[in-house]
Structure formats: C-alpha cells, structure tokens
Chain A
C-alpha cells in the first residue's frame, strides 16, 4: 500500500485533540468513522444530498461526507457521541427520545445536529425556520417527519437551552 499522499493531521473532536495519518482530501466523515471509530455520523449518499452525515463544526451544521479534512483545520468538531456533554445536542436528543422521533433512525443523527445548531442561534429560530433547514438539508425515507416535527415543537416549547 502506498502512503505517499498521507499526512499527519491534528483534528479537534468532541473536546479531544487527535493526531491521525490521512490524506488531506479524505472526507471528515471517513476519518471520523474509520480513524476515530465514531460511527454516529452516518454514511448516506456521500454527495451532500441527504444530510445523514451532519456534524457540528464550530457550532455550525456541516455535512461531513463532502467536507474535506484540510478544510476543517483547528475547528471544533462535535459528533453524536458527545451528546452528554453538549447542552443543545442533549436537549435535542431528549426531545427526540421523548417523542420517539424516528423509525429506522438512520437520518436522525444529522437532523439532531442541524436542529442543535439552529437552537444555538440567538434569537431562537421559529418552527418554520427549522422546517426550512430540514427541508433543504435532510431526507427521511421512513416518513418519520410528523414525529420529528413533534420533537421540534417540544423543544421550542421548552425553556431556552442554556449554552454549555
């Protein structure tokens, strides 16, 4: 195996600095899943069309499948695995669990990441704002949309989520 195109890269993920050997062109998703063993960000289409791979990068929702490693730099990456230490992600997850907001659950990682990014904004977005983002960036095939939107309603009805 040739390793000519591999470089040493530092990546800040879920509060820890990781040093890995990878191609700078490799996708963030591939590195998270295979080098760091973080399977929470799912492989969906690999083309940025379905949103299953969405993670938080400096608090913004990014589709990790078409985010090359070189573009991440020193940004803080947060994945589903860090939900217990990330206030907004935890609040979103609680609401989704409470509403049993999934069928197969494959798309939910990305949807929760996008919703978490939205509720970190100030002022809080409206239901319509959130639907617009989900419509643009996420696909669900099971038809779990009604319960996902009930989870969003539950979240918006709750007290504002304090920053971590």
Chain B
C-alpha cells in the first residue's frame, strides 16, 4: 500500500508538536478525531485538512471529525495565515496521520499474526491480503497508545493524497446554513453582554466620565474604567449598546496629538524616518537602455479587513482561570498576550477557536478577546463582548498604507537594463504572541499601558512590506529597497497578501509602462523576460482564456490588462487578465485567471479562494480607502467605506493548472496582486491614461485625465 516513503525529517509543525495525541484521538466507539492547530476562517482550510488526514489514515472523508485551534488539546501551529494552512499545516497533519495509521497497522499485524508490511487499509479497516478478516480503527483503539513522540518513530509510508476531485464538501457549511453557528451566536446560561466605549480619535485620552450615570442605567451590571479603557457589561445586548451611547455623550477626551493630513498618495510618509531600510538587491545596471525609461510612483491607502460580522469574544472567569472563545487566527499566541496583560500564567488561560466571519488577516478578533476578559473579570458570569460596526472600521488593525517608486530603463533590443524599486510601508505583521510587549488594543489604553511588541520584519523571500518587491522576471541591474516605517497615523497589521498588493501593482504597472515606451505588447514583453516555466504557463493560459491577441490598441474606453506574480516569490502562481469598460465609472466586464498552486487537494476549494481573492482585491483596488480628518477617522460604516457589490461582479473564468507531483502551495492570497495590476493596466489600456494611486476611483481617473 506504500505510495511514497515519507521524509525522515519531521515537518516543522509536527517537530514542534511531536506528541501524536495532539493530532489525533481514536476511540473504541469508532470516532476518529483529527486535530489541527489551523482554523476555519471561511477559507475551507479545515475541510481540506480533513481530506488530507482521511486519505492518509485510509478512512472515508466523512468519517473524521475535526477539532481545531484549542489550547487545551490541539497542536500549536501559531497563526492560520500566510497561505500556509495546506503547505505547512497539511504537511504536518499528513505525516502525523501516516504515523497514526502505521501504529494501527502494526497493532493489526500483531492481532492477525502477520508482518506489518502485509497489512493494507481501506475504509478504515486493516486487512491482510486475500482475507476478509480485518480490524477497524475502533477494534484497535485500546491497543494503540498515541501518547508517543513522533520523533521516536521510524518514517512512515505515505498513501495516495487526495486527488483534488474527490467528493469533498465543506464541513462547516451545513450548520452555517441551518442556524446558530458562529461565535456571535453562542448563548450560554447566564450570558452577559459586553461593549467598549472607544476613544473618538486615535490619540484621545479619557478626561472625564460620569460613572454614576452609566452605572444607574437599566441592566448595567458592571462598568470597568482603567485609563482610557471603558468597558460595560449589561444584562441585555440593547442595554449594553444604550449604556455605551450614554457614556459616549458624557465622556470628555483630550486629543494629545493630531493626525497628519490625509492625502491620496500617502504624502505623510515623506515626513517619516524609516525604522529600517533594507537593500534587498544591489546589482550594477547594464550599459545602454536608452530606448525607454520610466519613473513612476504608486500607492495604496490603509485598507480595512471589513469582516461582515463584528469582532466578538466570549470570556468566562472561574476559580482564577480564564476561558476565552475567539475567532482569532492564533489561539496560542493570543493566550500569550492575554497572560501578560492580565498578569497570570499562560497555562491558567484556555483559548478555543469558534467560527467568525471571514477576517482576511489580523482584524480585531484578538483585541476583542482582551476586551471580553477585562469586562468579564468584573462579574461572575460569561461575557460576550462585541465591537460596533464603527469601531470595526476605525479601531481594527488595517492593511498598511504603502507607497513605492520605480525607476527603470529599457534598451532598443527590448531588454530591461536597470530596475530601481523602493517601497515605503508601516508594518504589516503586528500580531500578538511576541516575546516582549503586547499587541492588543486595550492594553495601550490602560492606566498603566503596555508597549507594543517590537516589530520584526519577516526576511525575504516572503517579506512583509517588501512581499513580492522582487520581480518574477529575469532582470539585470536590480536595486530594490524596503523602507519599513514605524506605525503611521492608524494601526496596521496583516491583511491578506501584505505588501504584495501594492508591489505587484507597481511592478506590473511598470512592466506595461516600459513595454509602451518601446511599443511592445505587454504579454510579449513579459514573456521575453520570463524563464520560470510555471510562470510562463499561467501567463499564457490566462492570455489564452482572455483571447489576449484580440485586445486591440485600446484608448476607446474598453481595455485589457495583465498581472502576474508568484505569491511570496515561493508560493502559488497566478496570472490575471482584466477586461474593463471605463465610462463615468469603471465596469469590470470579465476577469480571466490561471493559477498553479502545486498539487491540488480540493479543486473547488482552490477555485473558491481564487474567485474570492479576485473579487476582494478588485474591491480594494477600485473602491476602498480608510480616510480621516482632524476629527478622527471618517470611514466608520458601509456607507462611507463602500465595497464591491453584487451588481459589480464580473464573470470570472479560472484555469487551475494542477501539478500532481509538486507540493501543494496556498491559494488564498496569490490572486490579490495580479488582480490589482490587471485592473490598473486595463484602465490604462482603455483610456491611454494611467492612475497609479489606488483606489482607482472615477474621481481619480477624472483627475488624471484632466492633468494629461
């Protein structure tokens, strides 16, 4: 039954969680529980992980029950982020599952009096060839001890992985389509409702609060005031909301520092000294390159995660221990920061993942967990704390604003001769769980505030603000610099794709601009600088889907544009062609995309992530910007922070280039940069005018036309 021999070296997430009982529990009642530190965020990861485990255990997909993200029982796989759930989490889970199956096969061999190598498994039953007699997982459950260190076991054999097209359906959807399913829907006995009054401005400090007025309001159970943190617990949800409204009217604040003026191209960054400038590549430019040259500046604003569900957490203190249910991307790192703020040992806190609305990165899920814990500490009841829509869109961490500058030259031979790229950005990874400091909002507002964790910039090739700052193309004379700025006017942290959204937009805009200087076709120009066969394959496939050759000269209001990248330079490949029509607004007529995410575990799961990645990136690129005035943030609701709607969704055509012999790569983020670039290039093709500051709104397009 051997398909391949597993590597001797344990996958990283198994090496750091070597006890097999953290990965699986198999009981005599027949239940097969598979455990993962990765969590379901709506991206389908836990379903795909179940498929990986089921294939390796030799049991039908629907026989495994998943437990995920629970500090009391699952492995600690840090965050569910970075498109690593399948690549890293899946690799570890596959290996752990193979070890579990091997231990059961050995037990079956002893029972049946044969060599382990003679045992085969199918549908969860271990057989010896040619005999009907077998032993199921349940039969053997009390003969196998999974409380064993994986590093002490010989490398197992791997069975065939899921082929991508097996009948796999999302494990979480039936309940989500039936009734209560999300953390917000949890309704334990004695539940109290928590809300926080947040300052009206990023730099506001609380000066006065009429505590008696609030405490006497109907239903109020507790008022927790600590520095500028104001938390309220009430019997009923509407009472908590009302109490916060009254508190907001009575509160007086001192605004200690103004925000820099908002500008469409992030001009405030020019006045900020970088925390660190890293020269990623410093190559000598080639001679020549006089046929064409460009010098362009690109930008994107702060972008909100914009989860449809408000960030929520349920906290309950009992006997000095704290239990928190959270939709965090990392329950173990969250626990570390909670322990620091609450002044208690890490192992006195349990954090358990519960479904939330899609987060697309580090939203307020972690912040609200601390809010809930602080409020619940004041009463002897479970507290569900929930953020308001306005706080969600003004106090969550945002995707960082960015700015980049490209200077490049191309020669008469059609070859790029030099490429100088600088990118400036506040931090993209400011998550909880660091060795020192705390990355939870309320911790900064306490009377004795905590310092943020010092920012460490993940190194290339994955990077953060410099993610995908190194082009996929074969270029000489590259000089690429990442200027990491300190936190800017508002707090930033991880949003799907980190810096890749702007960097790919900038690089791919620049490729079109350079091609234009010498009259080259953008597709041909890219292919002339592209030797990676997998990159060429997705690019040519997207062009074929879009019938690229028919795109014409443009300039008449209808345009086709290309975008290409390999996510993080080592992840999934994606090429996108956007077809747009520009009148008084931008209409997406169609999107064509090709992706290569290595071996596909679940084809519909990959399609889902590429489709969603395209739609979300189109929304960022065309519509979204967090904005502010001297008074504070002005984008506090869906009316002031619009996102792409149902009437704006184009037909999306996707080709998935499966690579059955290559390792699986994540699909969640690879479409973001190429989509932004394709739309920008399509608008430029449609109009003959380029807009380089996202979002590419009708107003900005009109400004660009008037300036031309």
Q: Among B174, B309, B639, which residue has its beta carbon within 8 angstroms of that of A44?
A: B309
Given the complex, which residues of A lie within 8 Å of B236, measured CB to CB? 26, 30, 34
Contact among B173, B235, B613, B648 for A102, CB-based, below 8 A: B173
Q: Is the CB of A147 within 8 A of B608?
A: yes
Q: Which residue of A lies closest to B193 (CB)?
A: A34
Say if the beta carbon of A143 comes within 8 Å of chain B.
yes
CB A157 to nearest CB in B, in angstroms, measures 17
* Proximity bits, A87-105, B CB within 8 Å = 1, else 0: 0000001001100101111
Give Cα A144–Cα B179 distance, bound, in whole angstroms: 19
Query: Which of the residues B41, B182, B306, B647 comes within 8 Å of A135, measured between beta carbons?
Result: B647
Nearest residue, chain B, Cβ from A29:
B237
Residue B652 at the A interface, CB < 8 A?
Answer: yes
B611 to A134, Cβ gap below 8 A? no
A 110-138 binary contact with B (CB < 8 Å = 1; else 0): 00100000000000000000011011001
A26–B358 Cα distance when bound, in Å, is 28
The one of A38, A139, A143 that contacts B612, using a Cβ cutoff of 8 Å: A143
- Interface centre among A79, A105, A112, by most chain B C-beta atoms within 10 angstroms, is A105
* CB-based contact B616/A142 at 8 Å: yes
> Separation in Å of the A55 CB from the closest CB of chain B?
12
Q: Of the candidates B357, B611, B619, B648, which one forms a contact with A104 in the assembled complex, judged by CB atoms under 8 Å apart?
A: B357
Shortest Cβ gap from A146 to chain B (Å) = 5
Q: Once the chains are docked, how many angstroms separate the CA of A98 from the CA of B491?
A: 41
Count of A-B contacts judged by CB separation below 8 Å? 179
How far is B40's CA from A106's CA once the two chains are assembled, in angstroms?
13
Closest to B176 in A: A105
Q: Which residues of the other chain, B, contact A147 by a CB distance below 8 angstroms?
A: 608, 611
> If the complex has contacts A106-B309, A141-B358, are A146 and B652 also in contact, measured as CB distance less than 8 A?
yes
**Residue B323, interface by CB 8 Å:** no
Interface size on A, residues (CB 8 A): 57
Is the pair B358, A39 in contact by a Cβ cutoff of 8 Å? Answer: no
Are B310's CB and A49's CB within 8 A?
no
Complex Cα spacing A40 to B184, Å = 10
Check B614–A143 contact: CB distance below 8 A. Answer: yes
* Chain A residue, CB-CB nearest to B614: A143
Q: Helix, strand, loop or mixed for chain B's interface?
A: loop
Give the contacting residue for B170; candidates A42, A46, A52, A100; CB below 8 A. Answer: A100
**A97–B177 CB distance below 8 A:** yes
> With A and B bound together, what is the CA distance between A149 and B615 in angstroms?
13
Q: Which of B170, B235, B237, B310 has the most CB of A within 10 A?
A: B237
Q: Please, what's the 1-or-0 string for A1-45, where 1 marks a CB less than 8 Å from any CB in chain B? A: 111110000000000000000010111001001100111101111
CB–CB B612/A142 < 8 A: yes
Chain B stretch 264-310: residues in CB contact (< 8 A) with chain A: 306-310
* Residues 299-341 of chain B, each 1 if its beta carbon lies under 8 Å from chain A, else 0: 0000000111110000000000000000000000000000000
> Please, which residues of chain A bring their CB within 8 A of the CB of B181?
39, 105
B643 at the interface (CB under 8 A from A): yes
- Of A37, A49, A52, A131, which contacts B646 at CB under 8 A? A131
Q: Are A93 and B177 in contact, with the CB atoms below 8 A? A: yes
Chain A residue at minimum C-beta to C-beta distance from B652: A146
Whether A146 contacts B638 by the Cβ 8 Å rule is no
Q: Is the CB of A45 within 8 A of B178?
A: no
Which residue on chain B has the smallest CB distance to residue A101? B173
A1-B218, A45-B389, A104-B42 known; A146+B310 contact, CB < 8 A = no
Bound: A27/B358 CA distance, A = 25
Give Cα A1 to B614, complex, Å. Answer: 50
Q: Is the interface of A mostly helix, strand, loop or mixed?
A: loop
Residue A108, interface by CB 8 Å: yes
Q: Is the CB of A103 within 8 A of B638?
A: no
A134 — nearest CB in chain B belongs to which residue? B646
Whether the Cβ atoms of B615 and A146 lie closer than 8 Å is yes
Complex: chain A residue closest to B650, CB-CB: A146
Q: Confirm or deny: B180 has a beta carbon within 8 angstroms of a beta carbon on chain A.
A: yes
Q: Is the CB of A39 within 8 A of B179?
A: yes
- B contact residues around A81 at 8 Å (CB): 178-179
Judged by a CB distance under 8 angstroms, whether A57 is at the interface is no
Given A30-B237, A42-B182, A146-B611, do A104 and B358 touch, yes or no (CB 8 Å)? yes
A39:B180 contact, CB within 8 angstroms: yes
Interface size class, chain B: 35 or more
A13 to chain B, nearest CB (A): 13
The minimal Cβ–Cβ distance linking A10 to chain B, given in whole angstroms, is 19
Known pairs A37-B187, A100-B173, A146-B649; A23 contacts B307 (CB<8 A): no
A98 to chain B, nearest CB (A): 9
Most chain B beta carbons < 10 A, residue from A5, A23, A106: A106
Give a binary string over A65-93; 1 marks a CB under 8 Å from any B CB, 0 the rest.
00000000000000111010000000001
Please give the distance in Å from A26's CB to the nearest CB on chain B.
Answer: 5
Residues of A within 8 A of B185 (CB): 33, 39-40, 42
CA gap between A142 and B181 in the complex, in Å: 17
Q: How far is the CA of A141 from the CA of B307 in the complex (A)?
A: 6
Q: Mark B536-575, 1 if CB is under 8 A from A, else 0.
A: 0000000000000000000000000000000000000000
User: With A49-B638, A131-B647 in contact, do A80 and B308 touch (Cβ < 8 Å)?
Assistant: no
Q: Which residue from chain B places its CB closest to the CB of A4 in the assembled complex? A: B218
Least CB distance, A35 to chain B, in whole angstroms: 9
Most buried by B among A5, A43, A49, A81: A43
* Docked complex Cα distance between A152 and B3 (Å): 42
Measured CB to CB, the nearest residue on chain A to B360 is A141
CA distance A43 to B178 in the complex (A): 16
B358:A106 contact, CB within 8 angstroms: yes
**In contact, A43 and B309 (Cβ under 8 angstroms):** yes
Interface centre among B178, B306, B639 (most CB of A within 10 A): B178
How close is B322's CB to chain A, nearest CB, in angstroms?
Answer: 24
Q: Residues of B contacting A2 with CB < 8 Å?
A: 218-219
- Determine whether B637 belongs to the interface, using a CB cutoff of 8 Å to chain A: yes
Q: Does B386 contact A (CB under 8 A)?
A: yes
Given A5-B218, A27-B238, is A102 in contact with B176 using a C-beta cutoff of 8 Å? yes
**Residues of A close to B179: CB separation below 8 A:** 38-40, 79-81
Set B237, B238, B358: member contacting A103, Cβ < 8 A: B358
Residue of B at shortest CB range from A26? Answer: B238
User: What 1/0 mask marks residues of chain B from 346 to 370 whose CB sits below 8 Å from any chain A CB?
Assistant: 0000000001111010000000000
Most chain B Cβ neighbours within 10 Å, of A30, A79, A80, A143: A143
A40: contacting residue among B178, B614, B648, CB under 8 A: B178
The proximity string for B residues 195-225 relative to A, scoring 1 for CB distances below 8 Å and 0 otherwise, is 0000000000000000000000011110000
Please, which residue of chain B has its CB at the minimum distance from the CB of A103? B42
For the complex, what is the distance from the CA of A50 to the CA of B647, rounded to whole Å? 15
B36 CB within 8 Å of chain A: no
Interface members, chain B 32-68 (any A CB < 8 Å): 41-44
Contact (A34, B358) CB under 8 Å given A39-B181, A108-B176, A140-B308: no
Answer yes or no: A60 CB below 8 A from chain B CBs. no
Given contacts A2-B219, A103-B612, A149-B649, 9 further A-B contacts (CB under 8 A): A25-B238, A26-B236, A37-B180, A45-B638, A104-B358, A105-B42, A132-B647, A142-B612, A143-B611
A sample of 18 cross-chain residue pairs with beta-carbon separation below 8 angstroms, ordered by A number, consists of A38-B179, A39-B179, A42-B184, A43-B310, A45-B310, A47-B389, A49-B639, A50-B308, A93-B177, A100-B169, A105-B176, A107-B357, A108-B177, A131-B647, A139-B308, A139-B645, A143-B611, A146-B611
Question: Which 4 A-B residue pairings sit nearest by Cβ, starting from the closest?
Answer: A104-B42, A39-B180, A143-B615, A39-B185
**Which of A's residues lie within 8 Å of B, judged by CB?**
1-5, 23, 25-27, 30, 33-34, 37-40, 42-47, 49-50, 52, 79-81, 83, 93, 96-97, 100, 102-108, 112, 131-132, 134-135, 138-149
